[in-house]
Amino acid sequence: MSAAPLPVLLPAAERLERAARRERAEGMRWHLQASHGMALLVLFIVGCGIAQAQGGADKPSVVDTLLKWTPVLAKGFVFNLAISFLAMAIGTVAGFFLGAARISLMAPVRGGAWVTINFFRNAPWLVLLFYCMLLLPFQVKVFGTTIPIPDWTKATLGLALPVMANVAEIVRGAIQSIPTTQWEAADSLAFTRRQVFWMIIIPQCVKRMLPPWMNLYAILTMSTVLVSIVGVNDMMTQTQRVLSAESRPELLLAFYSYVLLWFFAYCYPIARWTVRLEARYAVRQ
Amino acid sequence: MTTPIVECHDVHLSFGTSEVLKGVTFSVNKGGVVCIIGPSGAGKSTLLRCINGLVPINQGTIRVDRFQVHALKTDAEKIALRKEVSMVFQQYNLFPHKTALENVMMAPIHVLKEDPKEVRERAVALMTKVGLANKQDAYPGELSGGQQQRVAIARSLAMRPEVMLFDEVTAALDPETVKEVLNAIKQLALDGMTCILVTHEMRFARELAHEVIFTDGGKIVESAPPAELFDHPKQERTKAFLSQVL
């Protein structure tokens, strides 16, 4: 007999746990690395060099121009962050309940959650964003009062939808990675299903959910620049405006790689921290 | 003649096409200690899970005290039953995110809604009883298998059950730690707790059980007081099994 593993013989719980872990790992295994940052930096320096060489002596230096516009760009960046926080908060709360619905004992709830998750997880982010921008009204009338819905709220909602579906998958994976014997033990101590869920299963899930959740946040932050396409004043939009105001095409590479560096500087620490957490929890599990 | 506290009659159960229990009938008196022995796959563990309603049966009746277990439908009914029937598992199944003492205190506080102060006192006493007074604040991951299993026993006892079920509780332990767990159970049995144990510890069964049930292939082959079953088995199958394990 060869020493080939016999997965069928593994206890079901262990098999489920492995499947869930593999799925989580492969589904969104995407981490920023220091080399990415170095490449960006090189790109930025080259961009500045090109701009300086082409600009001629009579124009202000590239570095001066960048510094001049940095406050404007930073304002746009703050907007990106605000959208990312909001979308993440909305997506996390909605996704948590959607993920819990995915393991409901009631088949219609389970099925509905499955359809919702798969729809929003597989639809392209940009498409969802456009749907939200175009299908939601620009104002609603409640009891005669007109409440405007600004574009950025619609954009935030558009980004929150795919976040919700991804969070739901993270939650479901984490719940199913808890051995079924924990449910059995809690059941036999006469806990209600709700108590088991909130007091025994979820507290154990938090650790396992944190790394993929943070990874999702980093992805979301980088995706917030999509809102520039639908006309929200984020860093990307500001950059376009600055460039058209300067009307110096040679600045293009310098400015866009500058924007990239900002996002890298924000997301890289998150990515590193995620990797560290993953390693730590992998050992302890 | 007292009425038994646990009564199983003609219990049948199948998972899909495989029949696990094929008509099991036995009863346990209050304060009785019954050991269920038999080869793997005989349905021993499944039988225990049927008694506390974790696994619903297909046919027959199970009564525990005032509960008709086979007729329990809702979660609320099952919860009422499980307040009186506690179970200890082979793999301990402690809650890893809570300390040993919290594991013991959780169910009485949140299920029985008892006063946390009283529960704490009781839990400390139980931890002392199982010999782990100094491990109250340790997390399950920091305890040895034998210690974890003793916490699991204390956790079940904290519910003040009428009946305790033990599912091969020493099977995952090394021979030295088996003894500390068995001593804890022995103490319980001597205190008059009704115990149903699935076990491979023949010496323990012989010493402590009032009745030993030998099962094979989903049926009870033979049941008798330990002295009789171990020394003078009547069935050929029992003899064959005992000659293998003794």
pLDDT at site A184? 92
More confident residue, B173 or B103: B103
Rounded mean pLDDT for each run of 10 residues along chain A, 285 residues in total: 53 68 57 85 90 80 89 93 96 95 92 95 92 86 84 92 95 92 93 94 90 91 90 90 88 91 91 84 58
Strand order in the sheet with B67-68: B18-28, B6-15, B59-64, B67-68
Q: Which residues have C-beta within 8 Å of that of residue B119, sequence separation ≥ 6?
A: B105, B108, B109, B158
- Residue B201 tokens read as 């510890």
Mutate which of A189, A195, A199, A208 to test chain B, going by most B C-beta atoms within 10 A? Answer: A189
Average pLDDT of the residues of chain B: 91
Residue B14, pLDDT > 60, answer yes
Angle A151-177/A125-135 helices, nearest 10 degrees? 130
pTM: 0.81
Q: Residue B33: beta bridge partners?
A: B195
Task: Report residue B42: phi and psi, to 5°.
Answer: -80, -5
Contacts of B96 in chain A (CB under 8 A): 204
Most confident of A65-69, B106-110, B127-131: B106-110
Name every residue whose Cβ is closer than 8 Å to that of residue B79 and which is 6 or more positions away in sequence: A190, A191, A192, B111
| Mean pLDDT of the B232-240 span | 91
Q: Shortest CB distance from A185 goes to which of B75, B93, B159?
A: B93
Nearest residue on chain B to A180, judged by CA atoms? B93
Cβ within 8 Å, pair B159-A189: yes
Q: What does the alpha-carbon distance between residue B193 and residue B216 come to, in Å, rounded to a whole number?
A: 27
Cβ neighbors of A5 (< 8 A, separation 6 or more) are none
**CB-based contacts of A232: which residues, under 8 Å, 6+ apart?**
A79, A83, A151, A152, A155
- Range with the lowest mean pLDDT among A50-59, A234-243, B55-64, B86-95? A50-59
Residue B64 pLDDT greater than 80, yes or no = yes
pLDDT band at B244 (very low <50, low <70, confident <90, very high): confident
Query: Which of A177, A188, A205, A209 is best to mutate for the B interface (most B CBs within 10 A)?
Result: A188
